[in-house]
Amino acid sequence: MEKFVITVARETGSGGHNITRKLSDVLGIPYYDRDLLRKASEVSGIHERLFGAADERIGLKEMLSAAEKVYTGEILPPDSDDYISTRNLFSFQAKIIKELADTESCIILGRCANFLLADRPNVLRLFIHAPIEARLARVSAYSLAWSQREVAKHIRVEDKRRSAYYHYYTGEEWRDAAGYDLSLDSERLGEDGCVALIQRMIPLFVK
């Protein structure tokens, strides 16, 4: 089988991270999440803390800026005034994602990877979602100190943040089915059921 990449976008509380980890174990291939920030830092020389501060986040200044929209692939030189801008930080992340896709089979969680690799063969693009009741229950289970109102707010804010980040760099909508090959309801299928179904789908997308 040729090298392949699975990209995973997920709603907050849908279990997307757990599904990614389990899939990585079953397939015997690595998955990349915040590891991408370290790799981008090493390549760019920009402190990892700056990548972490901008990770899947868009501030008000960027959202209001007409000059910094939609990823173009350009990486600015170190002597540029915008070398540590969120746009350039994203471009370095995108460079790492594309290089990983060139060199190994792997799973990439979030960070617009489905958009960045959309024109490549042997890529399976997933979106993990679940009913709000299931997501509330999941987040509550690992945030015992939060009230239900706080949990609901967390889910709402995180989903809004991911959506804004995705739209800012791609010009497209995060939940638009056209951006994915497969959309899975983790409540209906269960985490293990999602993993099993994804395994069955891989031969359809990998030559």
Residue 92's alpha-carbon distances to 68, 77, 108, 159, in angstroms, are 15, 11, 15, 24
Question: What's the pLDDT score for residue 67?
Answer: 44
165 and 59 Cβ atoms separated by less than 8 Å: no
207 residues of the chain, pLDDT tens digit each: 689 999 999 999 999 999 999 999 999 999 998 777 777 777 777 766 765 666 656 654 555 454 455 666 667 666 666 675 777 788 888 888 999 999 999 999 999 999 999 999 999 999 999 999 999 999 999 888 899 999 999 999 999 989 988 988 898 999 999 999 999 999 999 999 999 999 999 999 887
Closest CA to 111 of 80, 136, 130, 86: 86
Model pLDDT, residue 33: 87
| Per-residue pLDDT at 72 | 67
3-class secondary structure for 77-121? Answer: CCCCCCCCCHHHHHHHHHHHHHHHHHHCCEEEECCCHHHHCCCCC
The pTM for the full model equals 0.87
Which three-class secondary structure string do you get for 29-84?
CCEECCHHHHHHHHHHCCCHHHHHHHCCCCCHHHHHCCCCCCCCCCCCCCCCCCCC
Question: Would you kindly state where each structural domain of the chain is located, as residue ranges?
Answer: 5-205
Q: Say what the pLDDT of residue 64 is.
A: 47
CATH superfamily of 5-205: P-loop containing nucleotide triphosphate hydrolases (3.40.50.300)
| pLDDT given at position 70 | 67
